Amino acid sequence: MKPDLSFLDAFEDKYLKTKQGKGVFLAGVVLGVMAGQQVSNIDDIQNSPLFKQLNFGRITIRDLKKHLARMPELIKAYNMKYSFLLQQLGNSAGTLLLEGGGQELGVEGNFAFTVAFANAREFFWNNIFPREDKDQLPPIEEESEE
């Protein structure tokens, strides 16, 4: 299953029209979902190790690359659900960041990242990987063969 990124086209924000902007946004979504899985209750997301490592408002392109590079390790360490979907989205984010040129995020990038992180579950399930019944996802082995 490939991530559906078509919803990004609906945004009017100039930064989100760039490859880097889309990559930063998707990085916010994937890291937000991962941070949510590090805690037993989503209301406690501010207590997740990943949340504590993010310097909101001052995130650099280097920070994003560092966190995305650690995705496989974190997925395994926290035995995260839907790991294949997380990896697919992380791959898309990383590719867009590489294609985007690597400019610093600034206010626009930090804003896009924070909005995506704060609404990660909604974007992940309602836009990127929409499913009628989230608990009935096919096994990872079936997904990886597509």
* pLDDT, tens digit, 9 for 90 and up, residues 34-46: 999 999 888 889 9
Give the Cα separation of 23 and 90 in Å (integer).
Answer: 9
Res 1: pLDDT: 72
Q: Which residue has the higher pLDDT, 134 or 66?
A: 66
Domain boundaries in the chain? 16-144
Decide: 128 and 7 in contact? Cβ < 8 Å: yes
Give the Cα separation of 68 and 75 in Å (integer).
Answer: 11
Res 134: pLDDT: 53
What lies within 8 Å, CB to CB, of 108 at 6+ separation is 13, 14, 15, 21
Global pTM?
0.87
Q: Which two tokens stand for residue 53?
A: 């490592």
Average pLDDT over residues 55-65: 94
Q: Report whether pLDDT(142) > 70.
A: no
